[in-house]
């Protein structure tokens, strides 16, 4: 039996299936009555024309990052731990009490039951769940469970639409049970290939992958504090000019407490020699230690459905897309609410930039938005409400850099430094490399 593959001339190039190796576990190849090859994924009871062994060969023009992401997804979804089990998992909720009802329903089910086919029912409504109800369920539930009203999550200081765990969630005595439930819901959505309408700060995705947080991650949490720590590293603080010790103040329910970063830290001065250690400890405390209990509960719930070694095949950007999906980006709205420095909208390089963005698919546009603003999330009211580190901040394209350089992003200012590339082809090449291959060093 042979599988078809398009070559550069559009001809069908026959390739012996035996050369491709075996299909992933749970997959089967079949023929239609017109002898066209298609593939059945028995793990998810879905069919596709795409050969799962050819994620990078279907189109050699597909960007490398996308080939890698597809390859990772195929590997991830073909693993035995990600197979839907036989049977059904019934979840019945009232729309008006979706958070409370979902908490009760999902908490009482075993992890094994949650891996069976989901059958969502909204109380008082007819309708069988062929996928649409579960999509709506996860959409509505994510709006509720990430609502800052419940004090479990809060919006980051960086903007008003990326979420972080609220370090003071303990005001709710059940908060750790809720975080375990939320971890389960995130895992459940990934397991059943559904999306949540929620975007977290970048550091939380790194923590889910077991990666260490760094000073750069502070920018998405509190840009002012990030700047003050960066200033400390960049300047000589000899002579005790800061009068800072290895401790920090934290307000808990209206009471200020002193937290030591190291034993007896409140009595140890930060000097020019030990400031790097102080900054590292401060970042770890601010991002991780203040929410250690909450995150541990979240992680326990998540890992009941998604094994750590499997989720670790993704990077933090891919994990954001895996959880939140790819947003529909309105390029006209984006362009309408863009400012220029050193350029005008009529300049050829600017026109080439927007032509390039329009030619990209949704995933590439989301990657560009991640690269330039730090998240693929679009504000509810569109680009006019885009936030920076100090409040509303429009997307800005600035003339900066040599044409031999890649474009550079400043995520806290939603700014792209774009050299005056001489042609559309050069701009496409440089922008593509910057967006697809830079992880950190192309951003500030």
Task: For residue 236, count CB atoms less than 10 angstroms from its CB and return exposed for 0-12, middle for 13-18, buried for 19 or more.
Answer: exposed
Which residue of the set 283, 327, 409, 412 is catalytic?
412
Residue 238 φ/ψ, nearest 5 degrees: -60, 155
Q: Is 146 helix (H, G, I), strand (E, B) or coil?
A: coil
Taking alpha carbons only, the member of 423, 332, 337, 441 closest to residue 385 is 337
Tell me the C-alpha distance between 221 and 412, whole Å. Answer: 10
Taking alpha carbons only, the member of 19, 22, 26 closest to residue 5 is 19
Cα dihedral sign, 318-322-323-324: positive
DSSP classification of residue 267: G
DSSP classification of residue 252: E
Tell me the C-alpha distance between 45 and 56, whole Å. Answer: 23
Is 397 in contact with 418 (CB distance < 8 Å)?
Answer: yes
Taking alpha carbons only, the member of 29, 30, 37, 31 closest to residue 12 is 37
Q: Name, in order, each residue with C-beta under 8 angstroms of 277's C-beta and a sequence gap of 6 or more.
A: none
Does 412 participate in catalysis according to the annotation? yes
The DSSP line for 332-398 is: HHHHHTEEEES--TTSHHHHHHHHHHHHS-HHHHHHHHHHHHS-S---TT-GGG-EETTEE--EEEE
Taking alpha carbons only, the member of 137, 47, 181, 98 closest to residue 129 is 137
Among all chains, which residue has been given the structure tokens 């995130």? 186
Number of neighbouring beta carbons within 10 Å of residue 15: 15
What length does the chain have?
444
Tell me the C-alpha distance between 200 and 162, whole Å. Answer: 5
Tell me the C-alpha distance between 278 and 272, whole Å. Answer: 10
Give the residue numbers annotated as catalytic, written as ranges: 412
């Amino acid at each position: 039996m042979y599988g078809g593959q398009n070559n550069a001339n559009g001809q069908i190039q026959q390739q012996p299936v035996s050369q491709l190796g075996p299909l992933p576990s749970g997959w089967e190849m079949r023929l239609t009555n017109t002898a066209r090859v298609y593939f059945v994924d028995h793990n998810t009871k879905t069919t596709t024309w795409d050969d799962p062994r050819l994620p990078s060969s279907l189109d050699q023009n597909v960007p490398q990052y996308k080939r890698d992401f597809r390859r990772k997804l195929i590997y991830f979804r073909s693993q035995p731990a990600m197979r839907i089990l036989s049977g059904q998992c019934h979840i019945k909720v009232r729309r008006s009490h979706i958070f409370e009802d979902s908490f009760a329903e999902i908490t009482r089910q075993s992890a094994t039951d949650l891996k069976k086919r989901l059958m969502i029912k909204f109380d008082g409504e007819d309708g069988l769940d062929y996928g649409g109800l579960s999509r709506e369920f996860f959409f509505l539930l994510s709006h509720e469970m990430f609502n800052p009203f419940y004090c479990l999550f809060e919006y980051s200081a960086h903007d008003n639409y990326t979420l972080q765990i609220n370090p003071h969630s303990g005001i709710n005595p059940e908060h750790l049970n809720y975080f375990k439930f939320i971890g389960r819901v995130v895992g459940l959505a990934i397991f059943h290939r559904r999306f949540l309408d929620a975007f977290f700060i970048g550091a939380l995705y790194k923590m889910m992958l077991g990666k260490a947080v760094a000073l750069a991650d502070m920018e998405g949490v509190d840009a002012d504090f990030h700047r003050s720590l960066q200033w400390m590293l960049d300047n000589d603080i000899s002579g005790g000019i800061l009068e800072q010790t290895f401790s920090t103040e934290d307000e808990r329910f209206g009471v200020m407490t002193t937290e030591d970063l190291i034993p007896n830290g409140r009595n140890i001065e930060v000097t020019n020699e030990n400031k790097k250690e102080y900054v590292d400890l401060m970042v770890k405390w601010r991002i991780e230690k203040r929410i250690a209990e909450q995150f541990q509960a979240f992680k326990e719930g998540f890992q009941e459905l998604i094994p750590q070694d499997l989720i670790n095949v993704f990077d933090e950007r891919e994990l954001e897309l895996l959880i939140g999906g790819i947003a529909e980006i309105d390029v006209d709205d984006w362009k309408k609410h863009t400012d220029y420095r050193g350029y005008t909208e009529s300049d050829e390089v600017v026109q080439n930039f927007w032509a390039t963005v329009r030619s990209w698919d949704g995933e590439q546009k989301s990657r560009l938005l991640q690269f330039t603003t730090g998240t693929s999330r679009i504000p509810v009211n569109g680009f006019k409400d885009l936030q920076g580190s100090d409040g509303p901040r429009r997307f800005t394209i600035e003339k900066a850099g040599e044409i031999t350089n890649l474009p550079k992003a400043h995520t806290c200012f939603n700014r792209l430094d774009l050299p005056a590339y001489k042609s559309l082809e050069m701009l496409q090449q440089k922008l593509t490399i910057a967006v697809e291959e830079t992880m950190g060093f192309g951003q500030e």
